[in-house]
Structure 1
Amino acid sequence: MRKDKKVIGICVASMQSDSWEKHVRAICKEAGKRDYTVMIFNTFQRLYEVTKFGKGEVRVFDMIPFHKLGVLIVFSESIANDEISEQLVQKAKDAGVPVITIDRRMKGCHNVLFAYEESFEKVVRHVIEDHGCKKINFMAGFEHNEFSDARIGIFKKVLEQNDLAFEPERLAYGQFWEMPARHACEEWVAKWQRGEQSMPEAVICANDIMALTVMNVLTNHGICIPKDVIVTGFDGLELEQYCTPRLTTATDDVRQIGKSMLDIIDRCIENPTEEPKDLYIPFHTRFTESCGCKPIKSCNPNERIMQLYGYAAEMRQQSTDTFFMMTTLTDGYSAVEMGNKLKDYRKAIDAKHMMLFLDPSYYKETDIPTNHFEKDSYVLFTQLKDNVYDVPLEEVKKDEFIDKICWMAEKKEPLLFIPIHCQEENYGFMVTTYDYEGKDTRAFYEFVLGLDQVLGTIRRQSQLHRSYVTDALTGLYNRRGFYLRFEKKMKQLADKDKYLFMASVDMDGLKFINDTYGHAEGDFAIKRLAEILQEMVTDEHGICARFGGDEYMVVQLMEAEKIDHDFCDHFEQRLQDKIRQDNQKKKAVYELSASCGVIGRKIQNAEEIDTMMKETDEKMYQCKCRHHNSRAARSRQKSM
């Protein structure tokens, strides 16, 4: 990513919802024309309350590189959590980044607001003043909701200005959605049929989905629209254009939103300290068939039916593929093997380019080889580059990950950041290029949820496997794990000439430490020696194990032509040097000491290891006798 390139950050929740994604798409489209890079940080859930799942989702906002941004856009209404929105705004301000909020006014920000009230009032006045309706039912959204209450207030105001009384019994709450609206409308119809309420001349709805539901319910009961009852909606739902009759409504101008947003961004980039202003995006009213006005051209409903049928079939296939993905990828305990198998499901990512980063809290519980990583580094687990999939397993320091994804930013496509987690447990995050013209975010959401479950299952199975093959006290392999690991290494070198170095190591004086200083100190001594041995075995073919008590086994399996002579020839001396250095550093009341026997030679099959173990044990015991005699001699000299 060029340092001089302008970068827009977008924070949004539930982008798979049409209402917000269409605005994000409009911004991305216009931003591309003006040579901006767009980074979208999306949580799939709205964050009314930060549940366990929400805690995992909201961590994606921690990835925002404020120092790279020219401006931050916060879809505060989509996030639906004032505290989170305010934190994002404050972090941006602390970094000197101007903030633009959408659909909710926030102090100190450029606020892009929609002229809901003005447009909704036009719809209500049209029904009352142009069509002369006096008996009107009103389908509101949620009770005590800001937008719903505002539209109820407008309705009451227009009634009063036309000398009409507000009748509370004609108000119902459809919660801005189909099923509650259907239930409320059925109750209305039942009252009309029982004679408890006269049928209205019009039903005004606070949004389109409720209006379409009301039209469906009334039609099912033989009530003709608009002949018997006028119905109006609001917010310009795309589905409306395929319905009969066409719905009287009001809608925003998506193209105008993109242009207006980028005009503000241009000004913010040019003058970051510009005084914040409010910008109102107008809605366009469209009076048509459902209120008895002029018909407008309808889209082909058959085409829409086929589109929806095709989409439903695709989603069923997507669900099936996700199920099989979860079943296939969780058949084992290896994160590395799972990453390689994920290649078969790369199409579900729906992007040409992708990078999946895993957090230390995740990968340290798996078999991903990260012993040499710094404490807080990410691992680049998998990536797609020009549709080519690989598993890099590469260390990426936390303060360098933005530079790591710069090649994706240069593709001139927006970047979409997605949290990867299970409930509040953070696994990492995914970055993909975002095809704002075609990406199906809802299908992608299902894939990500499936991947979350796969990663969680693999980690739990990895933990179980680790407890099965490792020593609980030291973290080294136990006897079972040693043999399993050795057999695996032998298979990897099956067609090679093999050389095996082996060291049998036994701690000296463990009984003395236990009897004199207690078993807790004895356990500490066992772990000290384990850490020393682990530090010495860094090659990919090295295996270090605790066979029980104070007995350890170290092997180095390698190709015969690639023998590490330095490691093999000087292992015993380096072990004693490291023990001596550890004693000087720890300054314990006792001195750590160990006996060692080593051997090395070419081998053909795994069965030879038992014979070599006996030989190294014999050499180790010879060394232990020398150490014992040496200590006894020193003790006699002290007593003289």
Structure 2
Amino acid sequence: MIKLTIPFYKAGDYMIDNKKVIALCVSRVHDPINNKLVEFLNRRLIANNCTLFVYNVCYDLNWYSKNLLWHNNVKSAQVAVFDLIDTSITDVIIIMDDVIKDKSTIMNIIEKKGLSGIPVIIIDGKYPNCINVTFDYEKGFEQIVRHVIEFHKVRRPHFMAGFKNDSFSERRLDIFRKVIEENNIPFSWNMVSYGDYWFEHSFNACNRLIENGNIPEAIICANDMMAMGVCRSLMNHNIAVPDDVIVTGFDGIDEINMCYPAITSCAFLAEDMAEQIMQIILKSFRGEELLESYVVPPSRLIISESCGCPKDNSFDSIGYFLNRFYRYTDQEKILSEVSSKIHTAETTHEAVTLWKENTDYNLVCLINKGFLDDSYKDKQKPFESVMTVFADTDKNQTDVYDFERKNIIPDIKSFIDNKKPIIFTALEYLNEPFGYVCLSFDLCDYCQIPDILFSLNHA
């Protein structure tokens, strides 16, 4: 194993309210897989006198750049949130590479922040002079392929890959090919389709398979979302799963338990990754030598109905659905109405009052002072040193006021005392950042984050 030679700070170098600060860079923190890791990591950090600052982008940057930006050299304004990472108060930076899906953005974070000597931990990626931590996806995916080929005796399998040339997808394709060839099934590129990790794209790819008359015995998907799209396509064509075609996924997201049939997959426990990261952080605090890479072993195969096996009934799918559905729909309606009212407000006092009277979020919203009068033009610095506070946690606030950004947010101590992750997300207008929001609330409410951002962006 390669050992790192970069210097590490010991415990106690940086503190806020006598707690060390850990920064997590992520995309789509509202995604169930991502917020599970946030939940378990936060528990371990609290137990070790740390607080978690989450710097969040609300969408997949790879997809965004390909589909919504017409200039390849133009970045999403939301990546400005990573400029908020303050190396003077941060002990460790954690970056979720496979979630952010944008190498240049990640390299920019590493180059800007890592040069200060702060340890940078990469989850599911590999970068020089960083601590790279990955799940053993290969072993987990091999379990699924062998279950389909060797237990169910499938002779005509098909692989639904992610993006072309994506490293994760290519490694899973290599495993698919290895296992079928070991079982004397010749590999052909006709066995491979690309669903780009998305429901709709895999749905369309499966439609093409069916239309071409190339219906296999099993479709092994590189992730769960594509497996759900494949199942929908097959059922729309009156092809029964698993009686006519076996379907499997990968990742173990909660939604696979709410599908009919429930989907066979492989879960990687977020608590295992959180524990490994916590041990690395503690070693860095003690100044101990660290390895360049760590591997978290695979968790468990989730055998279920989509491959023809019995379903694991331990998951409360009805309770999960109802909890998320009613929270989401109620708040979506409120936020839409509040945004419309603020848009027509004649004064900042009226706008602040409308937000305070109609929402009850534990959040702070800060806006560039120059955004209000169009005087701020420094594109190299997305946020001003003095911001305007539009909303804070003080119920008596009646108007905007100035605040020095170096102090992070008003009443930061109450957020830390809350013992929940503190989430930062950039505000944007016409792909230009104009401020940021800081939120701290229960995990089950994370699904509301995109709507809160949308409401404030369009107010």
Range into which the TM-score falls when normalised by the shorter chain: 0.7 to 0.9
2:5 matched to which residue of 1? none
Seen in structure 2, the aligned counterparts of structure 1 residues 127 and 419 have a Cα distance that, compared at 3 Å, is same
The alignment status of 1:147 with 2:147, answered yes or no, reads: no
Aligned equivalents of 1:227 and 1:55: distance in 2? 45
Query: 1:176 is paired with a residue of what secondary structure?
Result: coil
CA displacement 1:421-469 (0-9 Å, x = unmatched): 2134332222222433x32x33232122121222xxxxxxxxxxxxxxx
2:137 matched to which residue of 1? 116
The alignment status of 1:92 with 2:106, answered yes or no, reads: no
Seen in structure 2, the aligned counterparts of structure 1 residues 146 and 244 have a Cα distance that, compared at 3 Å, is same
Equivalent of 1:453, from 434, 453, 458?
A: 458
Seen in structure 2, the aligned counterparts of structure 1 residues 62 and 260 have a Cα distance that, compared at 3 Å, is same
Please say if residues 357 and 429 of structure 1, whose CA atoms lie closer than 8 Å, have aligned partners that are also in contact.
yes
Equivalent of 2:268, from 252, 256, 273?
A: 252
Post-superposition shift, 1:174?
Answer: 2.0
Seen in structure 2, the aligned counterparts of structure 1 residues 277 and 140 have a Cα distance that, compared at 3 Å, is closer
Counterpart of 2:392, as a letter, is Q
Counterpart of 1:448, as a letter, is L
The alignment status of 1:41 with 2:62, answered yes or no, reads: no
Query: 2:364 is paired with a residue of what secondary structure?
Result: strand
1:234 matched to which residue of 2? 250
Instruction: Give RMSD over aligned pairs.
Output: 2.8
> How do 1:260-299 and structure 2 match up within 5 A?
260-271=276-287, 274-293=290-309, 295-297=311-313, 299=315
1:585 matched to which residue of 2? none
The alignment status of 1:171 with 2:185, answered yes or no, reads: no
Aligned equivalents of 1:7 and 1:259: distance in 2? 17
Post-superposition shift, 1:299?
Answer: 4.1
Equivalent of 2:78, from 41, 57, 65?
A: 57
Aligned equivalents of 1:404 and 1:231: distance in 2? 51
Seen in structure 2, the aligned counterparts of structure 1 residues 104 and 391 have a Cα distance that, compared at 3 Å, is farther
1:355 matched to which residue of 2? 364
Aligned equivalents of 1:276 and 1:217: distance in 2? 43
Aligned equivalents of 2:339 and 2:16: distance in 1? 39
How many pairs does the alignment contain?
Answer: 430
2:407 matched to which residue of 1? 400
The alignment status of 1:159 with 2:168, answered yes or no, reads: no
The alignment status of 1:412 with 2:428, answered yes or no, reads: no
Counterpart of 1:346, as a letter, is T
Counterpart of 2:154, as a letter, is C
Query: 1:226 is paired with a residue of what secondary structure?
Result: coil
Equivalent of 1:382, from 381, 384, 391?
A: 391
Post-superposition shift, 1:244?
Answer: 4.1
2:34 matched to which residue of 1? 20
Please say if residues 17 and 413 of structure 2, whose CA atoms lie closer than 8 Å, have aligned partners that are also in contact.
no
Equivalent of 1:346, from 359, 369, 376?
A: 359
Post-superposition shift, 1:229?
Answer: 2.9
For structure 2, the residue ranges without an aligned partner over 5 or more in a row are 1-14, 376-383
CA displacement 1:277-333 (0-9 Å, x = unmatched): 3233423223343333455336465x25xx546644554443432332122112244
For structure 1, the residue ranges without an aligned partner over 5 or more in a row are 367-374, 455-640
Aligned equivalents of 1:67 and 1:120: distance in 2? 41
Query: 1:68 is paired with a residue of what secondary structure?
Result: coil
1:475 matched to which residue of 2? none
Please say if residues 10 and 41 of structure 1, whose CA atoms lie closer than 8 Å, have aligned partners that are also in contact.
yes
Counterpart of 2:151, as a letter, is D
Post-superposition shift, 1:133?
Answer: 1.8
Post-superposition shift, 1:182?
Answer: 2.0
Please say if residues 415 and 422 of structure 2, whose CA atoms lie closer than 8 Å, have aligned partners that are also in contact.
yes
Aligned equivalents of 1:451 and 1:165: distance in 2? 55
Query: 2:271 is paired with a residue of what secondary structure?
Result: helix
Counterpart of 1:210, as a letter, is M
Aligned equivalents of 2:41 and 2:142: distance in 1? 28
> How do 1:565-604 and structure 2 match up within 5 A?
none
Query: 1:117 is paired with a residue of what secondary structure?
Result: helix
Seen in structure 2, the aligned counterparts of structure 1 residues 92 and 273 have a Cα distance that, compared at 3 Å, is farther
1:621 matched to which residue of 2? none
1:318 matched to which residue of 2? 331
Query: 1:107 is paired with a residue of what secondary structure?
Result: coil
Structure with max Cα Rg: 1
The alignment status of 1:184 with 2:198, answered yes or no, reads: no
Aligned equivalents of 1:174 and 1:452: distance in 2? 31
Post-superposition shift, 1:55?
Answer: 4.3
CA displacement 1:20-48 (0-9 Å, x = unmatched): 22222221122223221111111213333
Counterpart of 1:433, as a letter, is S
Taking structure 1 as the reference length, the TM-score comes to 0.62
Query: 1:416 is paired with a residue of what secondary structure?
Result: strand
Counterpart of 1:32, as a letter, is I
Aligned equivalents of 1:84 and 1:219: distance in 2? 40
1:429 matched to which residue of 2? 436
Post-superposition shift, 1:252?
Answer: 0.5
Identity between Structure 1 and Structure 2 (%): 26
Please say if residues 276 and 296 of structure 2, whose CA atoms lie closer than 8 Å, have aligned partners that are also in contact.
no
2:12 matched to which residue of 1? none
> How do 1:459-538 and structure 2 match up within 5 A?
none
Q: Which gives a bigger RCO, structure 1 or 2 (Cα 8 Å, sep 6+)?
A: 2
The alignment status of 1:73 with 2:89, answered yes or no, reads: no
CA displacement 1:192-241 (0-9 Å, x = unmatched): 4xxxx4x4332212122222333344345444443433222211121222
